[in-house]
A and B are shown apart, each in its own frame.
Chain A
Amino acid sequence: MNIPKEYLNEFPEKIIDDLKESGKGLTDSKFKKVLEKTLEEYKKARITPGECVGLVGAESIGEPGTQMTLNTFHFAGVSEMNVTMGLPRIIEILDGRKTISTPMMEVYLKGKLSGEKVKAHALMLKETLLGVVVDEFNIDIADLKIDVLLKEDKLTERSLTSATVANVIKKAIKKATVTKEDNTVTVKLTGKDASLNELYRTKEKLKDVFVSGIKGIKEVLPVKRKEEFIIITAGSNLNEVMALDFVDTTRTTSNDLYEVHAVLGVEAARQLIIDEVMKVMENQGLNVDVRHIMLVADTMCVNGNIKGITRYGVVSEKSSALARASFETPVKHILAAALTGERDELTSVVENVMLNQPVPLGTGLPGLVTEVKK
């Protein structure tokens, strides 16, 4: 169905698509009626000028937030994994924290795979440090060497061989000769400063040698979601996981805002903010309209970077010095404003409340212009 030009500019794309779909098989005159009615409804649904969207949004998120504080279930356990939920998570997202308390990924896989296969893939993701696959470190004081006894079952589980492990060790430890015999890798110090102390330090270093998997993925958990298996991970490394060929890159996500921003861009980060906040809200059984959260997410992402709702983030970019001063560290803002000779145009709410002027919203927005007789 074709939509007349005069209507095309009235609607957003989504509604135009919907109209095209639902208008199939209608006569022109009937379709016209549909368009008229739609336009009427659409205009009614739009926010009126002077509506205080930000504050209403803040109240709509803030009010359920007060109920959330009373709820003790801030941490929801996904079997062995603890996930930060509830108020702490919301604060974390909205503050735009660089490091989050529980980074997590949901890795979707290409095609339908059996549980066994998924498990194997999962173990490939998991970060394996040498300490995990080692049975015992034997320090030989006399020869200044360490015998590393590997655990066979742990190796096969991760499809590793003692040879690859030996190679990894060789790369990681300088100034030492690495030899392999069955399941024992022997590290012998060679350098001039080879001492017992050095040997002990080497042993500690060996424990943390990265063997296989993906860095940062602390734990993996294959979970059946609907018809397929996905892998939930503790720890996040979106970039490297997406590079794997068995991973469905279109659906795989992380809950780390900055990582998603770096790998997938702002739009993805914005969507993540919305999804994550909504997830918490729904989890707590709270009903918050997405559009409030969308507004927050938009504010956080407008200039292409993520800014938290803090005095360093969004608040620092308010145009009014008075408004900034009224939110934490006033003296700092006032002095900075004085140094640059800032001019406050009193265009927002807080400043006008301070001066006891009508706020430029709602009934305070429109002005009647009358010519005053002199």
Chain B
Amino acid sequence: MSDVFLNGKYLGKVDDPKAFVASIKDERRKNKLAGSANVLYNDEQNEVYVFSAGGRLRKPLILVKDGKSLMTEQHEKQLEKKEISWTDLVKQGVIEYLDASEEESAYVAFTEEEVTADHTHLEISPLVMFGLCTSLFPFANFTQGTRVSIGSKNQKQALGFYAANYQLRIDMDISLLHTPQVPIVKSVMHDVAEYEKHPSGQNVIVAIMGYDGYNMDDALVINKASVDRGLARSTYYRPVVSEELRYSGGLTDEISIPDKEVKGYKSEKDYAFLEEDGIISVESNVKEGDVIIGKTSPPRFLSGLDEYNLASSTRRESSSSLKHGEKGIVDFVLVSESSNGNRLIQVRLREQRIPEVGDKFTSRHGQKGVIGLIVNPGDMPFTASGLTPDLIFSPHGIPTRMTVSHLLELLGGKIGALAGRFVDGTTFESEKEADLRKELASLGFRDNGTETMYNGITGKKYKARIFVGNMYYLKLRHMVSNKLHARARGPIQLLTRQPTEGRAKEGGLRLGEMEKDTFVAHGASLLLKERFDSDKTIVPVCEECGLIAVYDNYKDKTFCPTCGGDVNISNIELSYAFKLLLDEFKTLGVYPKLNLSNKY
């Protein structure tokens, strides 16, 4: 007797749990029971668990009976001829799905050769242990697991052909690779996932060598000739959106070229690209500050003097314009309606991105790096046959990371390019290195993939033979032009008078707490003071009460609001943030008295 639980709830008892479980499995395989049910008999607890609820992760496995896989050659032939499909195999009970609980009672063979009479299931392919991205990692079984994780994560950031309807879409922060290619070294998953329909990289010729230190620390050196011919070129899309909002009292926003009377009117030049309807014309070349969508909003609230103002109806300017550092060409204008029924204007900007120093690239092996130098083709090293690589990768990236798959792909890519075929790099089931070497030798090359190369600048032969071959490289979405930032002077915050934060707001680069400590540790007291000068102010202070006094610019006089005019008032220099702190003390009911004394 053992208890039976259905989806965690007690259902009843059965006499023979093993027979019960076996019969459920059997019925399921004969399609008499729903295929989504899974059972497990826990003999320690003497309980049977049946699961049929949604939300369980399940994995397909080939059934094994009496030491033989139910998946026969006949099945394979039929599959190839497309006489049967996956669902037929499931229906026939050749393949079944197990969830995490039923897997506990399964004995799964990894390959067909190791199947014994004890096995209950056979893995369809070792590749199923990986996710999509990891399956796209060629020769993954030759590289450390951590690197494989890094490599598959990197692939998610690659630029490519992300959606076929990209021309109709308004996506945030998206790029499109101009001439994506199918990798020469493929895995089965590339075919299964129809990778050729949405590829995200390019096959480049890679030489593994140093180049005057410009590829130190994971940097890459790339060939200017390749860049000029369109290598890794991409288009960056960014949307500008504006909605005609409605306010209480029947007031609404208005999308149009703002009148000159409007509060906050910029300048005529800024609105130059707008058409009559207040929306920018397509294909105009815009830069920072240019208005994309002209908009005015009703005044925030009518109060105070505004009521007596003749022009009380002044509307506010609330156009969308390009922020600091943004530029582009207007690609597409979409006029539609928002979910609230307001008129919605979406403008898509496009910007061509040519690879530049600082752009990030990666192979599929967790070997990412940024461009360190773009070299004129004449200065690139060349092989005896006159071939110049597209990209130079530093050999120092290999030993500590042990990405053997990176080297194998280079070798495989070379063969693929020379023999005009695709090379299979499926993890655990890839083409063998020895075979690849043999093939390379038969193509008339050194079997280890190295070649004699010459220095492009001096023309001298390199003493070492250089490992050259083809690899699939991915351009990653992190491009310097989105990140480059520096500031000398710029906007400040209203409250604290300290520099704003962040690149978008042209902010300052903070000298933080620990950085401050280093100045103190060096005893560089005055330098430290200068660094924190960003919000310094001169404040008049009443020497009588120690509170901040007032300077009346009109009368050119200082006076103390508490003690009156007839007191000594001195100007002192302090940070505005401290003045603010003193004000906050006052709101706490604390009297912050400044006792002034002469410093000298």
Q: Which residues of A contact B (CB under 8 A)?
A: 50-52, 55-56, 58-59, 331, 334-335, 338, 343, 349, 353-365, 367, 369-370, 372
Contacts and interface: CB of A to CB of B under 8 A. Distances in A.
Given A358-B526, A361-B525, A363-B523, A353 B590 contact: no
Contacts of A364: 523, 525-526, 529
A34 to B, nearest CB: 33
Contacts of B585: 334, 338
Contacts of A338: 585, 588-591
Interface string B545-584: 0000000000000000000000000000111011001000
B529 A50 contact: no
Interface in B520-535: 520-526, 528-529, 532-533, 535
Contacts of B18: none
Given A56-B521, A361-B523, 7 more contacts: A55-B517, A334-B588, A349-B520, A357-B574, A359-B525, A364-B529, A367-B599
Interface of B: 516-518, 520-526, 528-529, 532-533, 535-536, 573-575, 577-578, 581, 585, 588-591, 595, 599-600
A351 B495 CA distance: 21
Contacts of B581: 354
Contacts of B578: 354-356
B575 A354 contact: yes
B517 A369 contact: no
Nearest to A369: B600
A174 B595 CA distance: 71
A51 B523 CA distance: 7
Contacts of B517: 55, 58-59
A146 B577 CA distance: 75
A50 B523 contact: yes
Contact of A362 (B523, B575, B577): B523
B525 A358 contact: yes
A360 B528 CA distance: 11
Residue of A355, A357, A360 with highest tally of chain B CB at under 10 A: A355
A52 to B, nearest CB: 5
Contacts of A357: 529, 574
A358 B530 CA distance: 9
A50 B529 CA distance: 16
27 contacts: A50-B523, A51-B523, A52-B521, A55-B517, A56-B521, A58-B517, A59-B518, A331-B588, A334-B588, A334-B590, A338-B585, A338-B590, A343-B595, A353-B528, A354-B581, A355-B578, A356-B535, A357-B529, A359-B528, A362-B520, A362-B523, A364-B523, A364-B525, A364-B526, A364-B529, A370-B600, A372-B600
Contacts of A369: 600
Given A361-B523, A367-B600, A353 B516 contact: yes
Contacts of B521: 52, 55-56, 59
Nearest to A357: B529
A331 B585 CA distance: 9
Given A334-B588, A338-B591, A355 B575 contact: yes
Nearest to A51: B523
B200 to A, nearest CB: 34
A119 to B, nearest CB: 41
A359 B523 CA distance: 9
B210 to A, nearest CB: 30
Contacts of B573: 356
B575 A356 contact: yes
A361 B575 CA distance: 19
A334 to B, nearest CB: 6
Given A343-B595, A356-B536, A370-B600, A52 B574 contact: no
B318 to A, nearest CB: 37
Residue of B521, B536, B589 with highest tally of chain A CB at under 10 A: B521
Given A364-B526, A365-B525, A359 B520 contact: yes
A255 to B, nearest CB: 31
A15 B320 CA distance: 75
B574 A55 contact: no
CB-CB nearest 5 A-B residue pairs: A362-B523, A364-B525, A356-B575, A338-B590, A358-B525
